[in-house]
């Protein structure tokens, strides 16, 4: 194991830029499947291994995916998808790969995927994903670790999550975008990444309201189109830089931050006498 020496007592100064958050970028990539035409462009995408893995899953389905690590831009064209099976050797590497199921079912009415791996935080099953998709009209069979999902057409309904689930909310929200009628998700996740995905989908032509609250409503549409979208910055990375500046009595300019997504971190900074100052802010408002 490598060893690192850290010499303290130095005041941190300068500028840093917060990059896109992985747990927000992966749903954007997965739901780009919903775009029947055009090229989805996502900016502010760091060179994460999970991004490469999910990109390879889409490529094996027939999509065109290109990533430029220098500009941190990923371009995805899902018009030519013709394979609806997510390969086990890739799916086992990351739990977020299950996010493709909702979009595949909505657009192509079929999806085959292994139970996902990549989770070391207890037993986080995908049962609520499956239950919700069944409520929307999907026929799902589980056979020796393989999920086989089919539908003659998803239909809007009401689904109550047993507890708020980040990926569950995103998966079903995406599926409902092309379902017939209106879908209401109750006890949905309120995290900023869910709000950002709703913003992305609305840009594509979806009709989603209530993201950021426990009740999300989705009015089904016939078709969605590809768009360009900037991934929101990481809350964890932003909080790290705030803390690093505070404990060294430094002064950092943290670029590309969204204070409204930091909650208690900002309140804590103010409580101990460190007041984050607002510069020019970008807008990630839900439209």
How far apart (Å, rounded) are the C-alpha atoms in residues 251 and 244?
Answer: 9
Catalytic entry in 119, 177, 190, 199: 119
| Cβ–Cβ < 8 Å for 151, 194 | no
Tokens in use for 177? 């975008």
End-to-end CA distance of the chain: 48
Q: Using CB atoms within 10 A of its CB, is residue 150 exposed (0-12), middle (13-18) or buried (19+)? A: middle
Q: Give the sign of the dihedral formed by CA 137, CA 204, CA 235, CA 94.
A: positive
Q: How many CB atoms lie under 10 A from the CB of residue 25?
A: 27
Confirm whether 177 is a catalytic residue: no
Residue 175 tokens read as 């599926």
Return the HEC string of 249-278. Answer: CCEEEEECCCHHHCCHHHHHHHHCCCCCCC
| Residue 182 near residue 220 (C-beta atoms within 8 A) | yes
Nearest to 187 by CA among 163, 221, 154: 163
| Residues forming the active site | 119
């Amino acid at each position: 194991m490598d060893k690192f020496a850290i010499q303290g007592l130095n005041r941190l100064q300068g500028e840093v830029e917060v990059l896109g958050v992985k747990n927000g970028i992966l749903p954007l990539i997965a739901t780009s499947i919903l775009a029947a035409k055009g090229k989805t462009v996502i900016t502010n995408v760091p060179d994460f291994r999970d991004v490469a893995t999910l990109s390879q899953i889409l490529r094996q389905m027939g999509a065109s995916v290109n990533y430029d690590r220098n500009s941190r831009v990923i371009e995805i064209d899902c018009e030519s998808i013709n394979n609806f099976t997510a390969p086990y050797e890739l799916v086992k590497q990351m739990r977020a790969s299950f996010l493709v199921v909702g979009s595949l079912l909505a657009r192509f009415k079929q999806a085959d995927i292994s139970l996902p791996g990549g989770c070391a935080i207890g037993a986080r099953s995908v049962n609520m994903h499956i239950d919700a998709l069944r409520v929307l009209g999907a026929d799902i069979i589980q056979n020796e670790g393989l999920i086989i999902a089919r539908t003659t057409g998803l239909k809007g309904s009401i689904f109550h999550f047993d507890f708020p689930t980040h990926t569950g909310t995103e998966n079903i929200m995406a599926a409902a975008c092309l379902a017939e009628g209106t879908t209401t998700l109750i006890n949905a996740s309120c995290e900023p990444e869910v709000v950002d995905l709703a913003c992305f989908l609305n840009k594509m032509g979806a009709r989603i309201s209530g993201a950021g609250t426990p009740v999300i409503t989705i009015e089904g549409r016939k078709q969605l189109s590809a768009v360009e979208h900037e991934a929101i910055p990481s809350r964890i990375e932003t909080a790290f830089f705030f803390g690093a500046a505070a404990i060294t009595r430094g002064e950092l300019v943290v670029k590309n931050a969204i204070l409204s997504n930091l909650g208690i971190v900002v309140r804590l900074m103010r409580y101990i006498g460190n007041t984050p100052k607002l510069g020019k802010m970008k807008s990630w408002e839900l439209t």
